[in-house]
Amino acid sequence: MQTLFVELGDRRYPIFIGSQLNPEQLLAPYVQGKQVMVVTNDTVAPLYLQHYRQALENLGKDVAVCILPDGEKYKNIEHLNLIFDALLGAGFNRDCTVLALGGGVIGDMAGFAAASFQRGVYFVQVPTTLLSQVDSSVGGKTGINHPLGKNMIGAFKQPEVVLADMAQLKTLPPRELSAGLAEVIKYALLGDLNFLLWLEQHIEQLLTGDEQLLAEAVYRSCAHKARIVASDEKEQGDRALLNLGHTFGHAIESYLGYGVWLHGEAVATGMVMAADLSWRMGWISLDDLTRTKQILQRAGLPIVCPQIPLDEFLGFMAHDKKVLNGQFRLVLLKQLGQACITREFDVEKMKQAILANQQGA
């Protein structure tokens, strides 16, 4: 097992990364209060709920469970209210802990509920997908989607602890594993060329579910995110670098309907658009653009966007959280392994990059 800490000034929390982790031992110092609400979904519950419920009961906790339907399309206000219904129905007080057992959707919704219930209760993350282990479980961003924009309603809520167990990835469908690798590749493209070289050497082995290599990929990804979050917890500056490909990708998700494409699939295509625009701006070479496409393709990810009318695509981009005063701020590549946040780009070239990477274009 490896341990990372997210440092947040006067507070910090650990990320435990390994295989066959012992939840009773690792959660004991961090699960606060007597009452614990486990929020999970109907896919994860049959696999892992009993294991964690037993561990919590062994710690003397009173455990209640809220099981939500599985899928991005349920990440909305109606299903968020089911968590509040469960908390209130079970008579939970403000000294309780909400534990998220699932992927990014469950983590985001449970975290938002923990941030909101009685104005804030304790929160624990047990991410069960690769994407949530390397990205959404770390850093405290929580929230729900709105028909006009992804993750537009939410709050910052840091967990007390994160448990990332590689053994749980054995039950992950191949498509979900690939979607998680999109976020892993993102960290390499935006800030770590050596990590990109490592991924190019090992991408096929990662797709086989090699637990040792997956643990290394999760550790390096979380270490990168932890450094950025430590310097910019509320995304006032450099934390926005972590959104490489996301402004384009969120537009794809919003247009198609949440869950039609997985988040990682949309981000992968968005990163291709960002790299394409970076090439059109003369910042990276055509070989760099090709290299970006190749590593994403090798990870089993789409690199071509569905056909979306340009005005609608731009309309969804305009609802992105990184738009300020009507101006797009994009995360682009100065070179492979070095990203920047900028308004200084040619809008016409941005449109060309979008159109060039659509089906049938």
Active site residues: 119, 141, 183, 225, 235, 239, 243, 246, 250, 263
What is the signed CA dihedral for 109, 111, 113, 116, rounded to 10 degrees?
A: -140
3-class DSSP state for residue 331?
strand
Cβ proximity of 129 and 180 under 8 Å: yes
CA distance 124 to 137: 9
CA distance 356 to 317: 17
CA distance 32 to 61: 9
Helix (H) / strand (E) containing 318? helix 310-318
Token look-up 């990682």 returns 264
What is the signed CA dihedral for 38, 43, 46, 47, rounded to 10 degrees?
A: -90
* Cβ contacts of 7 within 8 Å, gap of 6 or more: 226, 230
